[in-house]
Amino acid sequence: MKEALKKIKEEALGALSAVTGQQELEDLRVRYLGKKGEMTAILKQMGGLPAEERPVMGQLANEVRAAIEAKIAETKAAVEAMALEKKLESERIDVTMPGRKSELGHRHPMYIALDEMKDIFIGMGFEILEGPEIEESVYNFDRLNTDEGHPSRDWSDTFYFTEDSTLLLRTQTSGMQIHAMESRDLPIRIVAPGRVYRKDEVDATHSPMFHQIEGLVIDEGITMADLKGTLNTVAEKLFGKGTVTRFRPHHFPFTEPSCEVDVQCHECGGKGCRVCKGEGWIELLGAGMVHPRVLEMSGIDPEKYSGWAFGFGLERTAMRRFNITDLRLIFENDIRFLKQF
């Protein structure tokens, strides 16, 4: 038995010296020290020894076991150190390599223009309102004096949600006039920016989704002169002192009288060029005196109160503000374009 123990010890220490991997180490531990291992097999034979030999053998067995355990621990540490070394080697970072630059974004030009407009209107005492893009026809059309059968209500122009045409993607922010009259006490002075939707094909001046900013003022004694004064002030603040505007008669169902407002072309100064399509003027917005029927439908007495309203195209305003010639650039989000503002 003494011989057998010595042999196990020599074999085990020899085998352990050659170990390079963790699994291999574990296999050897099981083989020598495990429940069914070689040491256990030897110890089972102890019972057959004469009584005086047992303590001596027992001690020897313990020594062998301790020696193997110590070697296993030592090997384990070495194997782990080797594994770590390998891992560090494979994950080595070259700190001298140039880094990947992260691009810092900024506000979109249209929202820069919108913020400028908000500032201008807030400075004049207006309140900023927001409202739903999914809208009821009542707000988008009916209470804006736009009856059934009006061409703007056509299914070919408007995105409807329901067969009975009661729910739609708003085609204009003008419905916010009605929301304002419903939720505010008089006098009212609001602007309401937001997205609107129409069934238009995309081209240099059209998109099925675009932005408007609606304005509404209602009080006693409000006149068209207030409208012109306000819009001229806004135009000068946005586009610079001396900006020339033009008020053209027009028709909208919810204003009477109605007009469209143009600014002189920034590119040619009114002579006519590619940007203004030879017109010399760029159309910016629709406006007018709020129709008495519209006031009445919202429970406001048109004998006592009057008001005006306007609706800017926001993309168009940003294009004019930043000399952008194609609407698509605003939506395509090409970094090379956006970076310029």
Q: Which residues bind ligand DAH (CB under 6 A)?
A: 172, 174, 214, 252, 255, 258, 286-288, 309-311
* Nearer to ligand DAH among residue 141 and residue 281 (C-beta): 141
* Nearer to ligand DAH among residue 207 and residue 255 (C-beta): 255
Cα–Cα distance, 135 to 147 (Å, whole number): 16
CB of 185 to ligand DAH, least distance (A): 20
* Side-chain half-sphere exposure of 214, counting CA atoms within 13 A: 24
Extract the tokens encoding 75. 């090997």
Extract the tokens encoding 261. 């407002």
Cβ burial 256-287 (10 Å sphere, 16+ → b, else e): eebbbbbbbbbbeebeeeebbeeebbbbbbbb
Q: Provide the H-helix boundaries in 124-219.
A: 137-140, 175-183
* Nearer to ligand DAH among residue 172 and residue 264 (C-beta): 172
CB of 258 to ligand DAH, least distance (A): 6
CB of 101 to ligand DAH, least distance (A): 43
CB of 171 to ligand DAH, least distance (A): 7
Give me the sheet containing 209-219, strands edge to edge: 127-128, 188-197, 209-219, 306-313, 281-290, 255-264, 245-252
- Looking at 72-208, which runs of residues are DSSP E strands? 127-128, 134-136, 167-169, 188-197
* Nearer to ligand DAH among residue 57 and residue 309 (C-beta): 309
* Nearer to ligand DAH among residue 37 and residue 307 (C-beta): 307
CB of 325 to ligand DAH, least distance (A): 22
Cα–Cα distance, 321 to 10 (Å, whole number): 90
CB of 174 to ligand DAH, least distance (A): 4
* Nearer to ligand DAH among residue 69 and residue 219 (C-beta): 219
* Nearer to ligand DAH among residue 16 and residue 319 (C-beta): 319
CB of 216 to ligand DAH, least distance (A): 7
* Residues 169 and 163 sit within 8 Å (Cβ to Cβ): no
Residues 6+ apart with CB under 8 A from 320: 238, 239, 263, 266, 282, 284
